[in-house]
Amino acid sequence: MRLEGKIAIVIGAGQSPGEGIGNGRATVLRFAQEGARILAVDRDLASAEETAALARQEGGECVAFEADVTREATLATAMQSAVDRWGRIDILHNNVGVSVGGGDKPIEELSEEAFDRVSAINLRGTIMACKHALSIMRRQRSGAIVNISSVAAFENSYPLVTYKVTKAGMVAFTQQLALQNAPYGIRANCILPGLMDTPMAVDTRARASNRSRAEIAAERDAKVPLRGKMGTGWDVANAALFLASDEANFITGVALPVDGGALVKIG
C-alpha cells in the first residue's frame, strides 16, 4: 500500500486497440493496487471507463474522466474535478504521446500539420496539465509529477523528427519543473521507456505498415540488449509507482531509463 491515502491523476489512462496492456492502463492498475484513489483521464472516455472498471476490480477507487490534452480547458476541469471529489492532488502522471499514429515522419517527409499535431499532444498537453496541477500542489506544498519521455530523446538513430524533439523537450521541462518547484515540496521526474510491447507501439506500427504484429514484435525484440525481449506496460508502471511514492522522497529532476539497456549502447 505504497500510495495509501494518495490522490492520483493519470492522463492517458486508456489505450489504443491491440494486444497486451498500455503504459497508462498498467500505471492506473498499479496505483490502484497500492491504495491510490485515481482520476483516469483520457480523450476516449469509453477506454478510460474500461481502465477504471479494471482498477475497481483490483479493489481501488477509480473514476473515469474525459479530457483532450490539446484543449487546455478540459485539463483544468480534470484537475478541479479531482479536487472537488477528494480535496487534493498528490500525484500527476502524464502518459500521453503519439508518433507514427500522429503522422510523424523523417524530416524530408514531415508536414507542418503533423509536426503541430504531435507537438501539441506530446509536449504542450503535459505542460498545460502541469500548469493547472501546480497551482493546487503549491498550495498543499507537496506533490509528485511523473512525466513519460522516451529513450528516443537520446537515441542516436531514431528517425522521426517530432517524437524525438518533443521527448527531449519533456526531459528539459521536467528538470525545470523540479528546480522551480522544489521550494514547494513538489518533486518532478520523468521516465524514458525503451522498446515496449504495447498496443500503441506494436499494433499501430503493424497497421501502418500492413505487416503482422508478430513480425514487428520480433524486429523490436532483436534490438533489446536485456534478454532480447521488449519491456511491457508493467515495467513502466512499476517505475512510475516508485517515483510517485514516498520511497522516492529525495529524488527529483531525474530521467529514468526503463529500456532493457538500450541507452548503454550509446557513446
Residue-wise pLDDT for 112-153, tens only, equals: 999 999 999 999 999 999 999 999 999 999 999 999 999 999
Residue 227 lies in a domain: no
Domain enclosing residue 80, as ranges: 7-194+233-258
Give the predicted TM-score (pTM) of the model. Answer: 0.95
Q: C-alpha grid cell for residue 37?
A: 484513489
Q: Are 15 and 258 in contact (CB under 8 A)?
A: no
Structural domains in the chain (count): 1
Residue 267 banded pLDDT, cuts 50, 70, 90: low
Q: Is residue 177 part of a domain?
A: yes
pLDDT at 266 over 80: no
Whether 210 is in a domain gets the answer no
pLDDT band at residue 2, thresholds of 50, 70 and 90? Answer: very high
- Angstrom distances, CA of residue 209 to CA of 54, 100, 216, 237: 31, 10, 9, 28
Is 94 inside any structural domain? yes
Which positions are annotated as active-site residues? 163
Is 160 part of any domain? yes
Decide if 201 is inside a domain.
Answer: no
What sections of the chain are H helices per DSSP? Answer: 23-33, 45-57, 72-86, 112-119, 125-140, 161-181, 204-209, 213-221, 233-244
User: Binning pLDDT at 50, 70 and 90, where does residue 207 land?
Assistant: confident
CATH of the domain at 71: 3.40.50.720
38 neighbors 82 (Cβ within 8 angstroms): no
